[in-house]
Amino acid sequence: MQGEKGKRSWVRVRVFFHDKCFDGAACASLFARFYRERIRDDAEFVFSGLVHRAGSLFDESKFDGDENAIVDFKYSTSPRITWWFDHHQSAFLTPEDAAHFEQQQSNTKFYDPDFKSCTKFLATVAEQRFGFHPAPVAELIEWADIIDGAQFPDARSAVEMREPAMRLTMIIEASHDPGFMPRLIPLLAYRPLAAVLEEAFVAPLLAPLLERHQRSIETMRQRAEFRDGTVFYDIADQELEGYNKFIPYYLHPECIYSVGLSKSSFRSKVSVGSNPWARADHVVNLAEICERYGGGGHARVGAISFPPDQLEKARNVAHEIVAELRASVKSPA
C-alpha cells in the first residue's frame, strides 16, 4: 500500500527467532502481536529462523526490515537490530557484545537470564513497559514456559506427547520446510494450540512424527549408556534431528545428567542436559561447560555446535564432558 508521493504507509518488520524451538516460535508470534497492538498496527511481518551453528550466526545482509527484531537468540551489535529479547545465560558471543548491550541503555532491547522462557519474559516486559495485555495469549505463554523451562510434573508428561503444545513442539523441531514456520508463527498468538494443530498444513505432519518418536525411544533405549549419574548416547548415525531431549530421563529416571551426540545436514551437535526431576544437592552449571567449547545455553541445559564434517571432534568433546560430569557425581564439589 502506497501513501502520498509513492511512500509506503506501512512498516516492514523482520523478526529473527530461535528456529526449531517452541519458545522461539511462540516468542516471535507474541512479539508480532505485541508490536501490532502497542507499537504500530500497520506492520507487515517477515519471520526468519536462526540456528546455532559453527561460525557466524548472523547474515547481516538479511537485516533488511524497516525494523529488525531478534527474539530468543544471541545478541547482535548491528545498528540495524532495533528490538532484542533473550533469556539465555550465553546470550553474548563475546565480552565486547555484552559491553555493547550495557552501553546501549536501550528501551527496546531486553535481557534477563532468570526467566525460564523468552516468551514469558517478553510478555512481562511488554505488559510492564508498554501496556500490553497478555491474557488473550495465556495458553501460549504458559506452555512456552513449561516446555523451555522443563517444568513438567514428570518425565512421562514430557515424553508421551499428549498435549497439543507438545505435539506442536515435535513438529516445529522436526520441520525442514522453509515455508512452514512463517505460516505457523502468525497463528500461535491468535488461535488455541489445539486449533493450530488441526490446520490443514499442520495436521498431516503429526502421525509420521509420532511414529518416529516411538522409534527414537527404542533407539535411545539401545544406545544410552548410564553410569555414575550420567547418560551418554551417540545417535550421530541416525536421522533423529529434533528428537525429544527428555527421553534419557524417561528411560533412566535416576540419572542426573545426559550428554548426546547427533548429526544433521548443517552441524554435528553435542547436547548437554540435567534431569529436571533428579534429587541432586549440587548440579554443575552446564552453560559454563558448553561455553568452554564455543557453545552455551542455560545453567541446566546447553549445547555445542560443530561443522558437520567435524563429527569426531564433537565426539571427543562429548566424551570429555561425560567424563567431567561422571567425576562430579562421584566426587561432588
Whether residues 217 and 144 share a domain: the answer is: no
State how many domains the chain has.
Answer: 2
Q: Residue 126 maps to which CATH number?
A: 3.90.1640
Q: What is the pLDDT of residue 25?
A: 98
Q: What is the pLDDT of residue 243?
A: 84
Q: What is the mean pLDDT of residues 16-41?
A: 97
* Residue 91 scores a pLDDT above 90: yes
Whether residues 281 and 167 share a domain: the answer is: no
Q: CA 5, CA 26: separation in Å to the nearest integer? A: 38
* Residue 2 scores a pLDDT above 70: no
Whether residues 105 and 245 share a domain: the answer is: no
Q: What is the pLDDT of residue 131?
A: 98
Which has the closest alpha carbon to 288: 11, 90, 128? Answer: 90
Q: Residue 267 maps to which CATH number?
A: 3.10.310.30
Label residue 122 exposed, middle or buried (CB < 10 Å: 0-12, 13-18, 19+): buried
Residue 323's domain comprises 212-330
Whether residues 72 and 219 share a domain: the answer is: no
Whether residues 240 and 277 share a domain: the answer is: yes
Residue 182 within a domain: yes
Mean pLDDT estimate for the chain: 93
Whether residues 270 and 187 share a domain: the answer is: no
The residue among 170, 201, 232 that closes a domain is 201
Whether residues 14 and 155 share a domain: the answer is: yes
Which has the closest alpha carbon to 137: 31, 241, 49? Answer: 31
Whether residues 243 and 295 share a domain: the answer is: yes
Residue 207 within a domain: no
Q: What is the mean pLDDT of residues 290-313?
A: 93
Q: What is the pLDDT of residue 110?
A: 98
Residue 45 banded pLDDT, cuts 50, 70, 90: very high
DSSP-derived secondary structure letter, 114: T
The residue among 147, 180, 201 that closes a domain is 201
**Has this prediction a pTM greater than 0.75?**
yes
The residue among 179, 201, 223 that closes a domain is 201
* Residue 148 scores a pLDDT above 50: yes
What is each CA distance from 333 to 21, 133, 160, 232, 282, in whole angstroms? 33, 45, 35, 22, 8
Percent of the chain with pLDDT over 90: 84
Q: CA 290, CA 271: separation in Å to the nearest integer? A: 9
Whether residues 190 and 66 share a domain: the answer is: yes
Report the length, in residues, of the chain: 333
Q: What is the pLDDT of residue 332?
A: 67
Whether residues 195 and 246 share a domain: the answer is: no
Q: CA 179, CA 33: separation in Å to the nearest integer? A: 20
Label residue 35 exposed, middle or buried (CB < 10 Å: 0-12, 13-18, 19+): buried
Label residue 32 exposed, middle or buried (CB < 10 Å: 0-12, 13-18, 19+): buried
Pick the range with the lowest mean pLDDT from 7-21, 59-73, 175-189, 219-233.
7-21
What residue spans of the chain are helical by DSSP H? 22-38, 95-104, 118-130, 138-148, 155-159, 164-174, 180-188, 193-197, 206-223, 247-251, 286-292, 311-330
Q: What is the mean pLDDT of residues 181-195?
A: 98
Q: Which three cell numbers stand for residue 54?
A: 559453527
Q: CA 180, CA 308: separation in Å to the nearest integer? A: 24
Residue 206 within a domain: no
Whether residues 79 and 39 share a domain: the answer is: yes
CA 168 to chain centre: 13
Whether residues 314 and 189 share a domain: the answer is: no
Q: What is the mean pLDDT of residues 175-204?
A: 97
CA 194 to chain centre: 21
